[in-house]
Each structure stands twice: as C-alpha cells, then as structure tokens.
Chain A
Amino acid sequence: MILAAGIGLGLGYNALRAQPLPWVAKPLPQMKSLDSLGTSSDSSSSLDHPQIIELSKDSTTSQVERQHVTTMPVQPTIGALDSSSHAVTKSAPSPVETTTTPPARAMDTTRVETPPPAANAFSDIPESEDPIKVNLAQTKRFFDRGGVVILDARDPEEYAEGHISGALSAPTDSKMGDIEWLQKMAKDPRPIICYCSGGDCELSIELATELTRTGHRRVLVFEDGFPAWQSAGYPVQEGTAP
C-alpha cells in the first residue's frame, strides 16, 4: 500500500510539474573527438588566430578588433564574475593587455552583450549538436589561445581545492536545473570546454550535453579532466576565484 501510494504520488507529482523529469533519462551522446572531425586542431596556424596577433601589433580599434577585445580573452572574461580576485594566467595570451580597451572594461562586458565573434574565429572548432572530445594538448592550446569558456563541472569543494586557472565553477548537479544559466551560456558565442575529474567522471559530459541541448553548438569536453591537467604541470588555481 505504501509503495503503491508512493509510486502514484511520485508519478502524479512529476506529471504536474511545469518541467517534468522525463521517464527515461536521455542517454549521453557518443562524442566524437576533435581530430576525427577533420579539423586540424594540432595545427598551430589554425589556433594562433592571426587576428589576435594583428591585434597585438596594431593598437587601432577596428570593428574586427573590437570584437576580439570583447570575445577572445577567455580568462579575463571569466574574471568578469569576480574581477577583484581574478588571476590572469601567465601562459595565456595577452590580447587584452595589448588592446586599447582597458581590462576593467573588458571584464565588465557581460556575455549577452558580447557581440558575435568573427566568422572564422573558431573555424577549428566545428559546430556540432553533440559535445566534442578534446585531449590534453588540444585543451592546453585552446587555453593558451584564449577565447573559450572553461567550466569546472565538479562540486564547489573540489573546485576550491584546485581547478584550471580561469575556469568557472559550474557544478553539474546545480547547473543542470538552472534554466536561466543554461540559456545565458547558450547565447555565449565562445566555445565552452567542460571538464571534471577524468576517469569515470561523467559530470562534464552531462553538463556539456545539456549545454548543447540548450542550443550551444561549440561545446568541448576535456575527458581527462583536472588530474591530467594538474599532472602536466599546467596552470592551476586554488580557492573559489577563477
């Protein structure tokens, strides 16, 4: 009787919810790797983005350059959420530092107001309805190049213990149901890299899948996750600040 009542109430309550939980959880997509999609992500020429280089050489602010000022710097834009404690990684490129736009202004730029990037800005990352796998080397290149949003899908406690420098805390458990946040991220023109603890951890895949379902078309998953990044000796940040 208790079981029957519980089952009836549970199914009934779920059916009456504004956004009912699907009866069957959506399967995680079979992700393709960036290499298999025919984009030579290992090619430094496609990742270096001549526009950024030109930007650093030329201080005039053309329309194209303005777009890069506001869209390309990953870590500075990430720091927009907490600009006071932002730490720009040494390995990251310095387009912001060389532009005429003050860093503070770039940090104040909200994602929604950010104009779309140049058409070829992310040509090495194909648009896809499913997340795309990237390896450590590719992630490091995107990290160095800038212009991507890095999301840490682990719990806030793990994030505070150590995370990729500049990465935002986006715990899958809480962000999955945050429609407003998901829609905001979906409007962000920059590619998104999700990661968690590597190994069996699926948090990053789940978060990336939800982002693609919300509409974002350039979502990458760094499957090896934070342990591989840390082992490689790449920039790591402790604490709650990106």
Chain B
Amino acid sequence: MIGDWRYLFRFALGVLFLWASLGKIADINHFAYDVHNFHLLPRALENVFAMVLPWIELVAGLLLILNVAPRSGVIVLGGLLVIFLVAIVSALIRNLDIACGCFGTKDAGVTGMVTLFRDIGFLALAVLGYPWRNPVILAEPVQIEAESPPL
C-alpha cells in the first residue's frame, strides 16, 4: 500500500495539515479571531470551530502520514479544503482585508489570490492522493460464435 505512488501526495498533504494544525493549536485565541474576521459563521460557533478544527486537521494529517484510513483522511481534509476555498473566495468577493490564518500565527499574509491558488493546489494533492478503487477492467468483448449444433 505504501508503495502506491498516491501515498506521496497523501503524505505531503498530511505533513501540510499537521504543520498547519500545530500553528493554530499554538495560539487558538489568534485563530479564533482569524475565524471571526471572515464573518461566515454565527458568532456563537466561531470559538468552537476554532477549538475543534485544528485537532481535526491534526488527526487527519497524522492518519495520512501513517497511511491509516487514507480514504477517510483524504475525504476529511479535502472537505476542509473545499470549505477553505469557499471562505477565501467569499473574502475576496467581499474585498475583506484579513489574514488567512491558514497556518496559524505563522501565516500573517492577507487573504488573496496567492492563498486561493495555494488552496487549489492543496486540493489537487487531495484528489491525486485519493486511493481510488481499482476500476473493473472489462475484457474486450469476445465474439462468441455460436457453435453449430452437432449434426
């Protein structure tokens, strides 16, 4: 399974999210404000989201690195990346001048096109790393000639 070339993408994705989660966990208060700045969640949910999200990233990232439950891990992280994508596009549309907070306090850059393309790149990693099930290979249809009945 580890020899699978898709594992390389999953490994890279896992490391990325592990790194991102540690940055957020190190300063949850800061991350909570980053979440708030997007103005996408009800204020009542912002802190819970900030508390939980980094740990989901951490668990999923570790699973991908260890190649345990890779499908679930990629689905969870891919889902998060889609959510982030929506948030970034929303911030760009509303012309919000806010920090991404994608990597916690280490990511002080303003949410912009770079963030958007970076997220799309990570999403590509998730798609490429997803352990698709082997497709059923259909054999070439064989023309079976009806045997002529014995005379």
Contacts and interface: CB of A to CB of B under 8 A. Distances in A.
Contact of B29 (A5, A11, A176): A176
B56 A3 contact: yes
Nearest to B25: A13
A181 to B, nearest CB: 13
Interface stretch (A19-27, A130-138, A143-151): A19-27
Interface stretch (B8-16, B58-66, B81-89, B116-124): B58-66
B30 A174 contact: yes
B47 A3 contact: no
A25 B43 contact: yes
B69 interface: yes
Given A2-B63, A6-B60, A10-B56, A27 B72 contact: no
A interface bracket (residues with beta carbon within 8 Å of B):
20 to 34
Contacts of A17: 28
Given A2-B76, A9-B58, A176-B30, A25 B44 contact: yes
Interface in A169-220: 172-174, 176-177, 197, 200, 202, 206
Nearest to A19: B29
Contact of A7 (B32, B56, B63): B56
B55 interface: yes
A91 interface: no
A59 interface: no
Interface in A133-164: 155, 157-158
A5 B105 CA distance: 24
A21 B55 contact: no
B33 interface: yes
Interface of A: 1-3, 5-7, 9-11, 13-14, 17, 21-25, 27, 155, 157-158, 172-174, 176-177, 197, 200, 202, 206
A201 to B, nearest CB: 8
Given A11-B48, A24-B44, 14 more contacts: A2-B56, A2-B69, A2-B72, A2-B73, A6-B57, A13-B25, A13-B55, A14-B51, A25-B36, A155-B99, A155-B108, A174-B30, A176-B29, A200-B96
A202 B96 CA distance: 12
B113 interface: no
A211 to B, nearest CB: 15
A52 B127 CA distance: 68
Nearest to B34: A173
Given A7-B56, A9-B58, A173-B34, A25 B46 contact: yes
A11 B51 contact: yes
A157 to B, nearest CB: 8
5 contacts: A6-B59, A9-B55, A10-B56, A25-B32, A200-B96
Contacts of B59: 2, 5-6, 9
Contacts of B28: 14, 17, 21
Contacts of A6: 52-53, 55-60
